[in-house]
């Protein structure tokens, strides 16, 4: 898996562009800046946006090539972010370390998805925010129509509203919806797709 992302990110172009995800860009400014964790931040487009918006950012990804591009993008934008390279299995922070978590197309294997969500939940303070956009299970249909739209090809790695409600049952749902959208994010997210969008505030 690491090799796949290193290969994708070592190209000179940014695989998903330099601009932040539109849903993340819409929701993050509605909250007061604090400390945010950005798992699967890739080339840093969302982490850099958060830093530009006044947040203290810790980004995380498997790919050292992604780290290099993210730090390049941060320098271009005259902001700083901390970027950790490694596997989410090895990620370790104190409980209640973060005010927010951004999960933008952070897809995990079926056996690890809920485990990782619980782990990330531990790192979030009560009252903290999660902003999530990811491909829904209906996206397999659109992926089959046009591979340029990207996304996992295994149903179990895709999301449903029921999974969100189960994994984040201790959250107030500020938004939870399945939507069909047109993606225009770099080279690998182009076209119509189906996504889950979730914004939640941790109760306890």
Q: What is the CATH number for 105?
A: 3.40.50.150
Q: What is the pLDDT of residues 122-163, one digit of tens each?
A: 999 999 999 999 999 999 999 999 999 999 999 999 999 999
DSSP 159: B
Residue for token pair 């290193």: 6
How confident is the model at residue 21, as a pLDDT?
98
Q: Which structural domain range is residue 140 located in?
A: 2-202
Element (H, E) at 124: strand 124-135
Read off the pLDDT of each residue in 193-202 and give the average, rounded to a whole number. Answer: 98
How confident is the model at residue 163, as a pLDDT?
97
What's the CA gap between 182 and 130, in Å, rounded?
23
How confident is the model at residue 2, as a pLDDT?
85
Q: What is the pLDDT of residues 5-55, one digit of tens each?
A: 999 999 999 999 999 999 999 999 999 999 999 999 999 999 999 999 999
What's the pLDDT band for 4 if we cut at 50, 70, 90? very high
The partner residues of 177 in beta bridges, in order of sequence, read 197
Read off the pLDDT of each residue in 171-178 and give the average, rounded to a whole number. Answer: 98
How confident is the model at residue 192, as a pLDDT?
97
Residues sharing a CB contact under 8 Å with residue 38, sequence separation 6 or more, in sequence order: 46, 47, 50, 57, 58, 59, 60, 101, 102, 104
Residues sharing a CB contact under 8 Å with residue 61, sequence separation 6 or more, in sequence order: 5, 39, 40, 41, 42, 67, 70, 83, 84, 85
Q: What is the pLDDT of residues 80-138, one digit of tens each?
A: 999 999 988 888 999 999 999 999 999 999 899 999 999 999 999 999 999 999 999 99
DSSP 31: S
Domain count, the chain: 1
**pLDDT over 90 (residue 69):** yes
How confident is the model at residue 89, as a pLDDT?
86
């Amino acid at each position: 898996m690491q090799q796949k992302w290193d290969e994708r990110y070592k190209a000179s172009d940014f695989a998903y562009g330099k601009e932040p995800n539109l849903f993340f860009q819409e929701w993050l400014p509605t909250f007061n800046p604090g400390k945010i964790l950005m798992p699967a931040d890739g080339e840093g487009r969302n982490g850099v946006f958060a830093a530009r918006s006044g947040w203290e950012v810790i980004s995380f990804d498997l790919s050292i090539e992604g780290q290099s591009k993210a730090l390049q993008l941060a320098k271009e934008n005259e902001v700083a972010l901390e970027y950790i390279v490694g596997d989410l299995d090895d990620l370790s922070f104190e409980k209640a370390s973060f005010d927010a978590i951004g999960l933008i197309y952070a897809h995990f294997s079926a056996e690890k998805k809920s485990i990782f969500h619980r782990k990330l939940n531990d790192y979030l303070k009560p009252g903290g925010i999660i902003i999530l956009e990811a491909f829904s299970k209906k996206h397999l249909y659109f992926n089959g129509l046009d591979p340029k739209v990207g996304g996992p090809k295994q149903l179990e790695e895709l999301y449903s509203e029921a999974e969100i409600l189960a994994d984040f049952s201790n959250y107030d749902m500020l938004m939870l919806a399945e939507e069909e959208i047109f993606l225009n994010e770099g080279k690998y997210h182009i076209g119509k797709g189906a996504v889950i969008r979730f914004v939640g505030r941790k109760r306890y």
